[in-house]
């Protein structure tokens, strides 16, 4: 499957679309079960440690990715977690105060799922910094790893 990442010039948005060969409940579980999240979230070669992960409306998360170059910390709050939607904030602690609002919708395609996600940054400059950080590679690799987890989980 291919991941489509769109960042129109001059806007503070990033939109992501991706299909998975699994039902929405399995894709949702992979996003909300801490034992599964650590197996796929982040680029290959990164170790992930969950410091906090409470994937429910009003819960929060805090995690660290590590590789031979250092560590990268992220945190946020889950505003809505339902069967077909997750709305959360996302902040890279290396860019404090540049919090984005992420909304992900899970669309049932009859045994398959399409994720449609939109991230809204506080400014075009913050969005551009995220894009320039190599996030496209991280997102693409994460979703490839998610495919592998979903396949193993059946």
Tokens read off for 13: 């948005």
The torsion angles phi and psi of 151, rounded to 5 degrees, stand at: -65, -45
pLDDT confidence band for 48 (50 / 70 / 90): very high
Indicate left, alpha or beta for 129 from its phi (over 0: left) and psi (-120 to 50: alpha).
Answer: alpha
Phi and psi at residue 44, in whole multiples of 5°? -60, 145
Phi, psi of 45 (to 5 degrees): 90, -5
Residue 134 pLDDT:
84
pLDDT of residue 96: 86
* Tokens standing for residue 74: 């992220």
Q: What is the pLDDT of residue 70?
A: 95
pLDDT in tens, 66-119: 999 999 999 999 999 999 999 999 999 988 889 999 999 999 999 999 999 999
% of the chain surpassing 70 pLDDT = 99
pLDDT category at 133 given cuts 50, 70, 90 is: confident
Give the DSSP H or E segment for 143.
helix 135-153
pLDDT at 1 over 90: no
Is 119 in a helix, a strand, or coil?
Answer: strand
SS3 126: helix
Q: Which residues contact 94 (CB under 8 A, 6 or more apart)?
A: 72, 73
The full set of domains in the chain, from first to last, is: 14-123 (3.30.530.20)
pTM of the model: 0.94
C-alpha–C-alpha distance, residues 57 and 46, integer Å: 28
């Amino acid at each position: 499957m291919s991941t489509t990442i769109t960042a129109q010039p001059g806007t503070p948005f990033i939109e992501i679309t991706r299909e998975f060969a699994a039902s929405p409940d399995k894709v949702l579980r992979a996003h909300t079960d801490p034992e599964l999240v650590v197996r796929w979230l982040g680029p290959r070669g990164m170790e992930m440690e969950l410091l906090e992960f409470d994937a429910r409306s009003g819960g929060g998360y805090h995690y660290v990715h590590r590789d031979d170059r250092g560590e990268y910390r992220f945190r946020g709050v889950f505003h809505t977690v339902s069967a077909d939607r997750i709305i959360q904030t996302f902040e890279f602690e290396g860019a404090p105060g540049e919090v984005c609002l992420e909304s992900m919708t899970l669309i049932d395609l009859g045994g398959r799922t399409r994720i449609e996600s939109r991230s809204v940054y506080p400014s075009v400059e913050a969005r551009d910094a995220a894009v320039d950080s190599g996030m496209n590679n991280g997102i693409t690799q994460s979703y490839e790893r998610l495919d592998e987890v979903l396949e193993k989980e059946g």
